[in-house]
Every structure is written in structure tokens, then in C-alpha cells.
Structure 1
Amino acid sequence: MPALILASIITLVLAVISVFVGVSDVSISSLLAGGVDGRAMEVLLVSRIPRTLALVLAGASMAIAGLVMQMVVRNRFVEPSTTGTSESAALGFLVVTLLAPGWPLMAKMGVAALFALGGTALFLRILKVVPLRDVLMVPLVGIMLGGIIGALTAFIAYRANLMASLLAWNMGDFSGIIRGRYELLWIGLCCCILAYIAADRFTVAGMGKDFTTNLGLNYQRVMVLGLVIVSLVSAVVLVSVGAIPFLGLIVPNLVSLMIGDNMRRTVPWVAIGGAGMVLACDIAGRIIRFPYEIPIAVVMGVVGSAVFLYLLLRTPRHAT
């Protein structure tokens, strides 16, 4: 518990730093000099605080989604971006944008979530018919499925002259977050709470269908609940800020290395770790080429790929 408190304090410090990092001068002195109606206070309330909240909500929810996905699939190398879930959500968002551009954002998010659910279900169906002789076959199948769905999405976007929009959806970036454009991410927080409530069920389901059934749990219901959580989180994050790669893969794995696989214990750690990692990567993206900004998807891609390679090299080929 003291370690968890320390991790929470570090994440809080990163959140405070995030509030004061940026091109516009927002500092204690400028806030005091400008008063309540000053420009610094306006930037703080309209941009910096909403952006920091979006970073925390997106990071925590995507990390939890990755943890749930790993429990459902029973493989440590899966997350929404390696199972075709994120690509399916992008396809759904593109389709509803083309067919019903006037729908509210909440309705479009719902369609994206349905497509994400369908893509994840297709991935699980493929796993049942493909002989999996190696632990790395599972994410490989997911990456191939995501590539096919992504190619279809790119073709439709190209024909509809929406390639710029598709690029924005696939490139996670918090630079456009202001008050009124991040509130859907609170749905991700609700999914995190739901995952924590059902943590024991997911832990049991991760031991296999037969074991789960022998303990009196409905394995199919647990699976459906997990897929719904993953799909909702993927759609909400995609619609709000774009795709963030590797986050749901590396954070649960690092937490598992430290404290084990009991999901009841790991959920708070994964949520705090996901929020802290996203905050750190976003701050780095704003500082490296200041006053320009590197999208968080680029920073997370570099960091995540390095950690992913480390996990691959240290994990036995037969392990799950």
C-alpha cells in the first residue's frame, strides 16, 4: 500500500507539471498577476486542466482495457491495438461519419464501439480455428487482422476523401483537447470501475473455461462483459483523442512482473501506471521540440515498442 501511495503521488506530480507545461504562459505568477479574468486563468480552465484530465482518463482506461483483454484471451501480448479492436473502432467511426454525419458524437461513439466489439469477436473466432503452437501467434494473428481491417478502412477513406480524418483518428494527440471535447472519456472511468468490481471474475476466467465453470461462474457472460469493456474504452478513446499504441500491453505486463496476476490487486496499479505513463509521454512530447509538439502516439510508439521487445526477449516461447 505505501508503494501504491507513492505511485499515486508521482502521478499527481506529473499531472501538476502537465498543467504548467505549454507554449502559453501559465504559471503561478501569471495566474496571480492576471487574476480570475486573466488570459492565464482562461487557458488553465479551458485547455490545460481538461487536457490533463483527458490524459489521466485515457491512460487509465486504455491500460485497464489491455489488462481485461489479456485476461479474456489468456495471452500477455494482446491489447486493443494488437487484436484489431482499435482498427475496427476506426472503421465503425468512418462508416457512421459517411452514412450519418449529422449524428451526435455519442451516437457515433456507440457505432464505433459496436464495430470494435464485432472486430474483437472475429479475432476470438479466428483464434479457435487457427492452431496456436506459439505464444506469439496470438498477437501475430491480431496484427494481421488489424492490418486487413485497416487497409479496408484506408481504402474507404481514400475513396471518400477522408484520409486526413483517418490519420487524425489513428494518431493519438491531445493538443486539440479543450473543455467540452473530452467529456466522453468519463465513460472510460466507468468502465474501469466496472472492471474493478468484476476483477475476481476476470481472474478466474483467465484460468480457462472448464475451471471457471467448475467454480459456478458463467464463462460466456464474463467474456462478454470483458469484450464490452474493451470495446467501449477503445471507441471512447479513439473518438476523443485517437489511437494510443502499446499502452494496454506494456503497463499490465510491467505491473504483473512486480505484483503478480491477481486482477483485484493489479487494477489500481494498472490504472495509476497507465495514467502516469501517458502523462510522462505527453510532457516529453511537448518539451522535446518546444514550442512544437510531438503527438503522444509517436512517443508512446517509441517507448512501447522498446518495452514490447524487452518483454518478448525475456518471455519463454511456450509461456502464455
Structure 2
Amino acid sequence: MNKSLIFLCILLFLLSIVSLFIGVYDFSLKGLLSGDLTDLNLIIISRLPRLFGILITGASLSIAGLIMQTITNNKFVSPTTIGMMEWAKFGIMISIVCFGDQNQLTKICIAFAFTLFGTLLFMQIMQNLEFQNKIIIPLMGIMLGSIVSSITVFVSYKFEIIQNIESWMQGSFSLVIKGRYELLYLGIPFLILAYLYANKFIIAGLGKNFSANLGLNHKKVILVGIIISSVISACIVTTIGSIPFIGLVVPNIISIFMGDNIKNTLPLNAICGALFVLICDILARVLIYPYEISISVIISIIGSAIFLGLILRGNRG
């Protein structure tokens, strides 16, 4: 695993350098080293913030998905498949309707509140219903998310704010510049908390009775996991927009090759999540250069194919 981690870190570093040089406006390394203000401003104001946003988003969503899969003991659960992204967008819509399109921090707080509420509601529904097939649970989550998304669009049309909301419907890093992405850093302390709670999440995922036998407060640990995932989802949707499938496919791929001990695989999940989003972002920028495809489109194509493969693999298992 250490060799894999080192290799992935080197690959992530190299692709990060490549990412800095991809864009509509070119700059020379010579000009950058000589202190050319135009090149320096391009790097500092646009390219580096975009790169940091990509890395934080990928790592955060991957860990959020890993947490949700662990505490629910279901490999098909993620922020995408249980409606967390949709609830965050609903919260943003409520924020704009009630308080206007001004304060980003207000949007994040309200988006977090609705994401937490929606996730707790979904978890309560799932506890009251018993499904033998684990695939049914994320499908129920997708259906619930679609209902919430439809309500968001309807209310947005009603209050004539659909243009404000559309930027959050599909994620994009094209508008990430210095001063417009820093709220993503709010999620970093929660990533550290996720690492500290990793072993507790594993125990909580084994059920209430098992947790009680080991002296673990099952409800508290589950709530901590949901709060971490909700904060991450709210920060990313508010700052970048909705990014699908990362929290689903990356933890599953890591689990297949490295096992389910999230204490050991959490750093690997973070790096692979960041790497996956970075590769998709590079593809989004070069496929129809000088134009840019929404990264959500690229991730949806790749992620949905992997999701289908996971479902087929689960059925065979």
C-alpha cells in the first residue's frame, strides 16, 4: 500500500503541474520565473485556486462517500445516491429566496441545515423499512433526491431565480478564482475528524447491538458521520456546484483492491478522489479546447459506467 500511495502522490503532483498549464490563456515558464506580472497573476488568481479547489473537492467527496458507506454498511450509499447534493441545492434556493444572492457563508449554513435534515430523514425511513437487496436503498435515495430537485426547480421558476440556481445544478471549476473558493477550506477540519473517528465508524456500521457491546454510543457516531458528510456536501455544492459519483465510485474501487479498513485506506481515498477529479477536469478542458465541458458531464459519464459495473458485480456476488 505504501508503494501505491507514493506512486499516486507522484502522479497527482505531476498532473497538478500539467493542470496549471492548461487553459485558454497561455503563459511561459520563462515569464513566470522572470517575474512577469501577467503570468504571476494568472497563476495566483486563477490556476492555483482552481487546482486547490479540485483537490479539496475530490478528496472531500471521496471521504464523505466512504463515511456514509461505512456507517450504513452499504457500498452503494454516497452523497449522490441518498440525495445529499439535492438537499444542499434546495437549501441554497431557500437562502436566495429568503436572504438574496449575497452571502456565501449564509448559503453554506442553510445548505448544511437542509442537507443534515434530509439525510437524517432518509436514514430514519431506511431504518423503518427492511430491504434484503442493498441496491434498493440508493435507488430510493435517488428517487427522493429527484423529488427534492424537482421542488427546487419549481420554486426557482416561481420566484424567477432559476438563473441563479442553474450554476449549482452542474458543478464547474471554470469560475473558481481567488476569493471565490476559500470556503471549501471549512471542510478540512471535518476531514481530520473523519480520520479520528474512522474506527468508530467501522464499529457503528456493524449495528447497534455490536456497538453497545463495545461501549460505543451508536447514535452519536452515526450523527457525527452524517454531520461530516453534510458539511462537506454543503461546502462543495455552494462553492463548486453538484459533483456526482465521486463518493460512490472511488471508495468502492479502493475497497476492491485494498479492503475495508477505512483507518488505513482513508488517505488513499482522499488522494484517489483528488486524482479522479483532476483527471476529469483536465479532460473537460482539452476535449473541445479552447471551450470547456462541465466537469459534471465528464464525471457523470465515467461514474455512471462504473456505478453500473458495481451493481452488476454486486448482483453476481
Shorter-chain TM band:
over 0.9
Give the match for residue 292 of structure 2: 293
* Of 290-299 and 98-107, the range deviating more from structure 2: 98-107
What displacement does 1:27 show? 3.1
- Aligned to 1:80, the other structure's residue is in SS state coil
Residue identity in the other structure for 1:303: I
**Deviation beyond 4 Å, 4+ runs, structure 1:** none
Distance of aligned partners of 1:90 and 1:102 in 2 relative to their CA distance in 1, 3 Å threshold = closer
Deviation string 1:217-252 (CA, Å, 9 cap, x unpaired) is 100110010010010000000011001000000000
Deviation string 1:34-77 (CA, Å, 9 cap, x unpaired) is x4342111101100001000000011001100111111221101
CA contact (8 A) 2:71 2:202 kept: no
Give the match for residue 44 of structure 1: 43
Give the match for residue 220 of structure 1: 219
Residue identity in the other structure for 1:27: S
* Of 36-45 and 217-226, the range deviating more from structure 2: 36-45
Residue identity in the other structure for 2:186: I
- Aligned to 1:300, the other structure's residue is in SS state helix
Give the match for residue 174 of structure 1: 173
Counterpart CA distance in 1 for 2:30 and 2:161 is 44
Residue identity in the other structure for 1:129: N
Give the match for residue 32 of structure 2: 31
Give the match for residue 17 of structure 2: 16
Residue identity in the other structure for 1:14: L
What displacement does 1:131 show? 3.1
Q: How many residues align?
A: 316
What displacement does 1:102 show? 6.4
* Of 223-232 and 10-19, the range deviating more from structure 2: 10-19
Give the match for residue 96 of structure 2: 97
Residue identity in the other structure for 2:7: L
Note the 1:133-152 alignment, pairs <5 A: 133-152=132-151
Counterpart CA distance in 2 for 1:27 and 1:239 is 33
5+ residue gaps, structure 1, are none
Deviation string 1:95-134 (CA, Å, 9 cap, x unpaired) is 0111012662112201100100000011111112233121
Counterpart CA distance in 2 for 1:204 and 1:13 is 37
Residue identity in the other structure for 1:181: R
TM-score by length of 1: 0.96
- Residue identity over aligned pairs, in percent, reads 41
Give the match for residue 63 of structure 1: 62
5+ residue gaps, structure 2, are none
Residue identity in the other structure for 1:165: N
What displacement does 1:2 show? 1.7
- Aligned to 1:178, the other structure's residue is in SS state coil
TM-score by length of 2: 0.97
CA contact (8 A) 1:88 1:116 kept: yes
Residue identity in the other structure for 2:304: S
- Aligned to 2:134, the other structure's residue is in SS state coil
Note the 1:113-128 alignment, pairs <5 A: 113-128=112-127
